[in-house]
Every structure is written in C-alpha cells, then in structure tokens.
C-alpha cells in the first residue's frame, strides 16, 4: 500500500494552500480532487475582489486559484484528479483512504488527513417551497456554472431568493448577460451578503432588494412560469394577504452554505452546532487525532484570503503532527458571539500567535471583543461596527494569559 505523510481531500483554495505548506515541511503529500481540474469553486467565480488581503490585488477567482496552482505544480506536489474518496478508516497509526478513479479502486495509507472539502449550497429541498416541481429552480452556484463555465444563459427573467454573496454577484452577472433580475428577496430583515456587494451588485443596476420577504409558492409544469412572494413577520412566517405573483422563468436560490463534512462524520469527528463544521483546536485538528480540517469545510468564510491562510496553517500542523496525549483547553462562547474558530487550544503548542476567527450574533456598533480568563478581562478590542455577515480575524498572543487545564477562558462581545 502506498504510504503518505499527509493526504489532502479537495483541490480548491483550501486544499491547494494546505498542500503547499505541508510540502514546504518536506513531507510526502498527496492531494485528491474529484473534478478534472484543480481550483474548486473559484474556477467559476469570475468576478474580481479576491486576494485583496493576501496579494494586495483585485484578482478574479480563476486568477487567484491559478496563482496557487502554479506554485503547486512548481513544487511537484502529487495530485490525483477525477478521483473520489469512498471511505476513510482510522487505524492505529493513521488512516486508510479508499479512492476510486479510472484505475479502479485503490487503498492508500497516510499518517494524517486534511479535509478541505469546502461547503455546499442549501437547495430548494432544504427550504420547503410549496407548489409544482418545474425546471428553472436552481442555486446561485449552478446558475454561475451555467453562465461562466458553459457559456449558457439559464434565464431571461428571474428572481433571486436569499441575499447571500453569490446571489448578489449573480444578480449583477445575469444582468450583464442581458437577463432581467426582477428582485432579490430576503426573509431576514437585514442582507446576508457583504454591504459592498449590495451596493455594487444591486444598487448599481437598480435591482430592488426586498427584505423580510420570501417565496411562498412556485408555478409551472415543465418550466417555472411564476412565483408567489409574501412578506414575513419577525419569526419569518409569511403574512396572509401580502401575497404577490411575479412572472419569471427562473428562481435562483442563495439561501446559505453548509460546510461539507460527510467524511468527517463517518470518522466520528465532533461537529460544532454553530459553524456546522468540525470542532478544532488552534492547529486545526478535529476531535479525531490526526484528522485536520480547513477552509469552508471548517466554517464558511467570506473571503478566500482567510481560507488560504488557515489552510496553510493546517497544512503545516498536519505535516508536523506527532501522536501524543492532547491537552485541550476549550473556549466558552459568551454573549453576542455567533461563533468562534477554533473552539479550543492545545496547551502544548506554540500559543504566541493564535489566530481567532469570529462572527457577531447581531449588528453592533462600538462594542468590544473581549477575552476573560477566570473572570478577569485579559484582552479587548473595540470595533466601530460588527455584523454577522462580516467575519473578523485576530491574532492573539495567548502565552500572556498563563493558561492551564483548569483555566476558564471565555470570549464575548460586550
């Protein structure tokens, strides 16, 4: 059986960055990708704005991905494309990874595994819309692939449900391709996507954004002919009498992303209720020894720059992994925090620069991100504004906190 130090599953931005940093540690690496090409979803994200933090450039998705693919190839890192992972089995000294591709079924052995499987879009099935089942209802990502990869126009006149970033980006993209986007409907009272995307994708093109509205029914037999939209109350329940019929040939969904963790679950990795990804420590190791997670499989990031960054850290940690007793100190999540990543720290690791990602649970102005150890405030940072769609990142020296297994460390926004 072939033997590796690190096997990385997924060839998107997270997989590429983790492979490169693991390779830099001088280890035997294999990356497994199910598609023909590396690059993941960035291949179809042709809009610009990627890489502002990492390269100080406004790159398109393909450019950002290809910068990493070029480095990946220069370093002669091994990749299997058009290859599916069918099973991962945990063993005494690592994992056996079963893959299937054109060569048949192969078993590979590795000391560590990095899950860089990204996230998936929530679909129509998951949001319970009533009515018939015509064609013309698809996710924003599917619409994006039609337009940007296959050069097909999936709609002439559509509405978009959900105001996630991909939905906003597609509203602009479809408008530029000559389609009429009749409006973006969002059940929540605030937009889900970045403010700048509301501005440059909707306002610039006079596409109306209807907050506190949702689609309550779809019409059409073979193809969608119309949708019914309704206003919703504060519990997001449709209000009777507010129904309105809108003629359109497509309903495009941008209703959320969920980290993809089918493999993590089969290995018994504990998932976090809030992030929907595995719980991890500051080395990005999950609750399963030797199993690492990064990028959007860990938690949905709003910038690819952050994905590359934490994936590179995960790659380095996986490459240098030595089996030992873990000394994990769990973080507690206090008020006004939606979530925090990581959820614990390994006390035996280097704590001089711990990266922490967090989102607030609501819109706040002038509040402080606060860390308390045993009730005493040890760190605080003031933010002019915090909003759930906008993730924040901090690098904190936790050596100063003098932590031990009995410490109680709590994060909150107050």
Partner 1 sequence: MEEMVCIECPNGCVLTVENKDGEIIVGNYKCKKGITFAKTELLSPKRTISSIVRTVFPDIPVIPVRVSGDIPKDRIFDVIEEINQIRLDKRVGRGHIIIDNVLGLGVNIIATSSILINT
**In whole angstroms, what is the distance from residue 128 CA to residue 201 CA?**
27
Considering the complex, what minimum distance in angstroms separates the CB of residue 78 from partner 1? Answer: 17
How far apart, in whole angstroms, are the C-alpha atoms of residue 108 and residue 125? 36
CB distance 205 to 189 below 8 Å: no
Least spacing, CB of residue 187 vs partner 1, in Å = 22
Closer residue to partner 1 in complex, CB, 177/289? 177
Nearer CB in complex with partner 1: 66/186: 66
Q: Which is nearer to partner 1, 169 or 318 (CB)?
A: 169
Strand order in the sheet with 409-413: 344-346, 328-333, 409-413, 368-373, 376-382
Of residues 104 and 151, the one with the C-beta less far from partner 1 = 151
Q: What DSSP letter does each residue of 266-282 carry, written as one string?
A: HTTPPBPTTTSSB---T
Runs of H (alpha helix) within 177-245: 195-197
Q: Looking at beta carbons only, is 124 or 145 nearer to partner 1? A: 145
Nearer to partner 1, 130 or 382 (CB): 382
Whichever of 64 and 138 has its CB closer to partner 1, that residue is: 64
Distance CA 7, CA 28 (A): 9
Strands 2-9 and 29-32: parallel
- Cβ at position 297, least distance to partner 1 in Å: 21
Q: Can you give the binding site for partner 1, defined by CB under 8 A?
A: 37, 43, 46-49, 52, 58-63, 66, 147-151, 176-177, 194-196, 198-200, 204, 302-303, 384-385, 390
Shortest Cβ distance from residue 340 to partner 1 (Å)?
19
Asked if residues 35 and 317 have their Cβ atoms less than 8 Å apart, the reply is no
**How far is Cα 412 from Cα 339, in angstroms, rounded to an integer?**
10
Q: How many CB atoms lie within 10 A of CB 363?
A: 12
CB of 241 to partner 1, least distance (A): 34
Phi, psi of 267 (to 5 degrees): -90, 0
CB of 168 to partner 1, least distance (A): 12
State both tokens at 245: 């019929």
- Shortest spacing between CB 11 and partner 1, in angstroms: 14
């Amino acid at each position: 059986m072939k033997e590796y130090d690190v096997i990385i599953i997924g060839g998107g931005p997270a997989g590429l960055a983790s492979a490169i940093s693991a390779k830099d540690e001088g280890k035997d690496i294999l990356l497994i990708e199910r598609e023909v090409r590396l690059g993941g979803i960035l291949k179809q994200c042709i809009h610009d704005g990627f890489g502002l933090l990492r390269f100080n450039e406004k790159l398109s998705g393909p450019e950002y991905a290809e910068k990493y693919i070029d480095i990946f190839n220069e370093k002669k890192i091994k990749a299997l494309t058009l290859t599916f992972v069918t099973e991962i089995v945990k063993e005494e000294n690592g994992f056996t990874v079963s893959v299937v591709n054109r060569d048949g079924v192969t078993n590979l052995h590795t000391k560590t595994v990095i899950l860089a499987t990204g996230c998936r879009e929530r679909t129509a099935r998951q949001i319970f819309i009533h009515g018939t089942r015509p064609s013309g209802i698809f996710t924003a990502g599917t619409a994006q692939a039609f337009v940007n990869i296959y050069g097909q126009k999936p709609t002439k006149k559509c509405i978009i449900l959900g105001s996630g970033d991909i939905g906003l980006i597609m509203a602009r993209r479809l408008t530029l391709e000559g389609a009429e986007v009749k409006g973006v409907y969002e059940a929540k009272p605030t937009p889900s996507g970045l403010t700048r995307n509301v501005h440059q994708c909707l306002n610039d093109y006079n596409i109306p954004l209807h907050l506190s509205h949702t689609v309550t029914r779809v019409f059409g037999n073979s193809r969608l002919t119309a949708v019914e939209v309704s206003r919703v109350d504060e519990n997001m329940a449709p209000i009777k009498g507010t129904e309105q019929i809108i003629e359109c040939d497509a309903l495009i969904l941008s209703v959320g992303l969920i980290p993809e963790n089918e493999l993590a679950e089969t290995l018994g990795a504990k998932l976090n209720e809030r992030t929907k990804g595995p719980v991890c420590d500051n080395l990005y190791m999950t609750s399963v020894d030797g199993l690492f997670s990064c990028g959007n499989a860990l938690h949905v990031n709003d910038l690819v720059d952050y994905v590359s960054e934490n994936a590179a850290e995960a790659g380095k940690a996986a490459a240098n992994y030595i089996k030992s007793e873990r000394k994990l100190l769990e973080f507690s999540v206090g008020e006004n925090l939606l979530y925090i990543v990581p959820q614990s720290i390994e006390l035996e690791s280097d704590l001089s620069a711990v990266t922490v990602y967090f989102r607030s649970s609501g819109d706040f102005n002038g509040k402080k991100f606060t860390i308390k150890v045993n009730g005493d405030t040890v760190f605080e940072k003031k933010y002019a504004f915090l909003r759930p769609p906008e993730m924040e990142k901090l690098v904190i020296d936790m050596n100063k906190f003098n932590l031990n297994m009995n410490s109680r460390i709590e994060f909150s926004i107050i």
